[in-house]
């Protein structure tokens, strides 16, 4: 079965600092991978998705970027964080068409 690993679990960063969140996948090759953001008490907003190495699609314009340097690695980055980048970031993956997304346990980012 597929397992999604995310780290760190929590992160506090000052405004203007860089960001790098990493997500790795076990149990599936060539998965579709996704980055979501969840504001407190709200639903999930899709930020990026990737269907393969080096292939990134962005859903919303923002201060963030994503990269997929390896098949099972998906990275969320920012060069300069904004206060509005605070939130709960979730990585998700799926191995087959119309199979459920599996989520990691998320990273709680607080920008101060």
Partner 1 sequence: GESVGLHLPTLSVQEGDNSIINCAYSNSASDYFIWYKQESGKGPQFIIDIRSNMDKRQGQRVTVLLNKTVKHLSLQIAATQPGDSAVYFCAENPPNAGNMLTFGGGTRLMVKP
Q: Tell me the window of 14-22, 62-70, 74-82, 87-95 that interacts with partner 1 (CB under 8 A).
A: 87-95
Separation of CA 42 from chain center: 17
Whichever of 54 and 97 has its CB closer to partner 1, that residue is 97
- Residue selected from 81, 90, 109, 111 as contacting partner 1 according to rule CB under 8 A: 90
Of 11-40, binders to partner 1 (CB under 8 A) are 32, 34
Report if residue 105 touches partner 1, rule: CB under 8 A: yes
User: Whole-angstrom Cα distance, residue 22 to residue 12?
Assistant: 15
Tell me the site size for partner 1, rule CB under 8 A: 23
DSSP strand pairing (10-13 vs 107-111): parallel
Question: Binder to partner 1 among 12, 30, 42, 52 (CB under 8 A)?
Answer: 42
Tell me if residue 14 falls in helix, strand or coil: coil
Q: Across the chain, how many H-helices and E-strands are there?
A: 0, 11
How far the first Cα of the chain sits from its last, in Å, is 38
| Binding region for partner 1 (CB under 8 A) | 4, 6, 32, 34, 42-44, 46, 49, 90, 92, 94, 97-106, 108
């Amino acid at each position: 079965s597929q397992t999604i690993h995310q780290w760190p679990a929590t992160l506090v960063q000052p405004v203007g600092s860089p960001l790098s969140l990493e997500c790795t996948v076990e149990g599936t090759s060539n998965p579709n991978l996704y980055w979501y953001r969840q504001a407190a008490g709200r639903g999930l907003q899709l930020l990026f998705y990737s269907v393969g190495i080096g292939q990134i699609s962005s859903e919303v314009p923002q201060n963030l970027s994503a990269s997929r340097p390896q098949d099972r690695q998906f990275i969320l980055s920012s060069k300069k964080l904004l206060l509005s980048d605070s939130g709960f970031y979730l990585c998700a993956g799926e191995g087959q068409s119309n199979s459920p997304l599996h989520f990691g346990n998320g990273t709680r980012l607080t920008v101060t």
